[in-house]
């Protein structure tokens, strides 16, 4: 399964980087790397993570990286 980032997700990732980089560009890069690598878990293991409580459907899953939620929606 491939990971496709929505425009909103890319904007959020950029905002996270910008905010953290104000104090530490190195740490901002590490956090972004961790978030993007964690998203690969959902690509490699589509039923990993928990079902998102707000939607209660198998098609939407989330994993947590630090204080960030990463969602996956199955297009099947």
Over residues 12-47, the pLDDT tens digits come to 999 999 999 999 999 999 999 999 999 888 888 888
How confident is the model at residue 75, as a pLDDT? Answer: 66
* Domain interval for residue 25: 7-73
Flag whether pLDDT at 76 surpasses 90: no
Q: Which of 65, 70, 1, 5 is nearest to 34 (CA)?
A: 65
Count: domains in the chain: 1
* Runs of H (alpha helix) within 1-76: 7-21, 25-44
How confident is the model at residue 12, as a pLDDT? Answer: 95
DSSP 45: S
Evaluate whether residue 58 is within a structural domain: yes
Evaluate whether residue 36 is within a structural domain: yes
Taking the C-alpha atoms of residue 66 and residue 47, their distance in angstroms, rounded to an integer, is 20
**CATH classification of the domain holding 34:** 3.30.2310.20
């Amino acid at each position: 399964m491939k990971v496709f980032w929505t425009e909103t997700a890319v904007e959020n990732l950029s905002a996270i980087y910008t905010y953290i980089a104000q104090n530490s560009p190195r740490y901002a890069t590490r956090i972004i790397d961790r978030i993007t690598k964690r998203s690969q878990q959902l690509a490699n293991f589509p039923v990993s993570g928990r079902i998102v409580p707000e939607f209660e459907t198998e098609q939407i899953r989330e994993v947590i990286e630090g204080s960030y939620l990463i969602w996956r929606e199955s297009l099947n």
